[in-house]
Amino acid sequence: MPQINRRGVLTLGAALGLTSAASAALPPAAWSWSPAGSVLGTGSGVDPQWVWDDTIDRIMASVIQNGQVPAVNEAILPRVDNNDPLPTGLPPELSAYLGDAVKMPAWADMTKLRRAADFNRRKDTYLFFIYGLGGGIMSTVIPREAKSVYWSKGGADMQDRAAKTFSFGYDLSDLNAFEPSGQFVVTSNKTRMVHAAVRHLLPQSPYWKAVAEEQIPISNADILVTFHSTGTFAHKKMKDWGVRMSAADEEAFLHSWQVALHFLGVRDEYIPATWAAAHAQSAQVLTPILAVTPEGRELAEVLLGLTAQVDLGVTRGFLNEFVRYTLGNEIADWLELRRDYASAATIRVGWPAYIAFREGLIPVAPAGFYVFDQLLRALAMAFLNRGQDGQTTPITIPDMNRPG
Ligand code: HEM
């Protein structure tokens, strides 16, 4: 596995648009991000890699040990909207927990969340690309995440797994996400239950144990890392690409992620209050840990293969080059993405023009505009997977690991 050195971090930081922050954070050191930069403004300063989600972790361990996973999955299936009643027939402590877990944090601001919803709608194309091909593929070079995803139950069916993860992004981006008629609060409750189940199950996998650095997966630090590979990365990329965002838009976009992190069980003392604090945290926790693993390489291959197989004229070479354009040469080389120089040239010229046209900066659609729209459609068809009833793939609690 290529280990990343100081020069590597700098090159990678530059590719991801994080150079100055990354160099400030070198060498990767003990947790030193100050809780003064958090939404709470204060905190214990405990390293979040030692913080999990104690209450729901204990409850889900007991659900699994008592063979209640199928019953719980059946009970939670009809609960979709934020204002749907709590399911009946759940173990009492899970019921009590879920009743509590729908409460918005005191610092949530509905005005900002509504603005975030509108922002997500206006910028959905870029976000779709950045989350799908940027964050989605970056997750494969985050070793802890790649190994957890690969060796958990869902790792054996990445299309289904990716479709469920897209549900999260889709529900978060929905206009009503946090309103009673939206679905995000319920989706994040379910995700939190899944993560708790994985914390109980993965340490029983001989395969995961043989390769994992940590003893219990999905700590608060790991979740923050994922936020930076998606939300923080999206913020940076949109700025780099010249996507228009007002200060209020940027703040609202961050706020929807802050509330999302809270609902995923991240303690408020770790949730960055500003984009500056988020980028500083990202430089500490994300950039230095990026590395390729056999699991990550295989996951990337599966994910890109699924998109390329949707036959809309988007070739695998084009896809490879779009990932390379978004994540940089170093990550693309780690993942051994075959070069396609003609596609690379099309993207280098066409993507800035595509954005300029969409942002209303040039009046006429540039040549090659359709290729990016086709790529968007291929991504949606491969992963969004919305059924005829308009519902996304339901999130269910796993009861086993990947069998091998
Ligand atoms: C499951 C989202 C962080 C590992 C899920 C699911 C969603 C999700 C929506 C349910 C879909 C499914 O069951 O496949 C998120 C978000 C995160 C985050 C939004 C942070 C912002 C992490 C991290 C790890 C991780 C940091 C590991 C280090 C997993 C695993 C599953 C899962 C192993 C279960 C897959 C299975 O069913 O076997 N996550 N996740 N997640 N997540 Fe996360």
Report the nearest atom of ligand 1 relative to the CA of 168: 9
CB of 198 closer than 6 angstroms to any ligand 1 atom: yes
CB of 217 closer than 6 angstroms to any ligand 1 atom: yes
d(CA 311, CA 377): 10
What is the Cα 328 distance to its own chain's centre?
A: 19
- Residue nearest (by alpha carbon) to ligand 1 atom 22: 223
Complex-level ipTM beyond the 0.90 threshold = yes
- Residue nearest (by alpha carbon) to ligand 1 atom 9: 165
d(CA 3, CA 95): 45
CB of 152 closer than 6 angstroms to any ligand 1 atom: yes
Cα 357 to ligand 1 centroid, rounded to whole Å: 35
pLDDT in single tens digits along all 404 residues of the chain: 333 333 344 444 444 544 333 333 344 568 999 999 999 999 998 999 999 999 999 999 999 999 999 999 999 999 999 999 999 999 999 999 999 998 999 999 999 999 999 999 999 889 988 998 899 999 999 999 999 999 999 888 887 888 778 778 878 888 889 999 999 999 999 999 999 999 999 999 999 999 999 999 999 999 999 999 999 999 999 999 999 999 999 999 999 999 999 999 999 999 999 999 999 999 999 999 999 999 999 999 998 988 877 767 678 899 999 999 999 999 999 999 999 999 999 999 999 999 999 999 988 888 778 888 888 888 888 776 654 455 667 899 999 999 98
Under DSSP, the state recorded for 395 is P
Report the nearest atom of ligand 1 relative to the CA of 219: 26
Sequence spans of domains, the chain: 56-102, 111-184+195-386
SS3 state of residue 315: coil
CA separation (Å) from 115 to 182, 243, 245, 251, 264?
Answer: 15, 17, 12, 9, 21
Cα 161 to ligand 1 centroid, rounded to whole Å: 9
Q: Residues of 141-150 as b/e, b for ≥16 C-beta within 10 angstroms? A: bbbbbbbbbb
Report the nearest atom of ligand 1 relative to the CA of 148: 33
Report the nearest atom of ligand 1 relative to the CA of 225: 26
What is the Cα 177 distance to its own chain's centre?
A: 16
Cα 226 to ligand 1 centroid, rounded to whole Å: 9
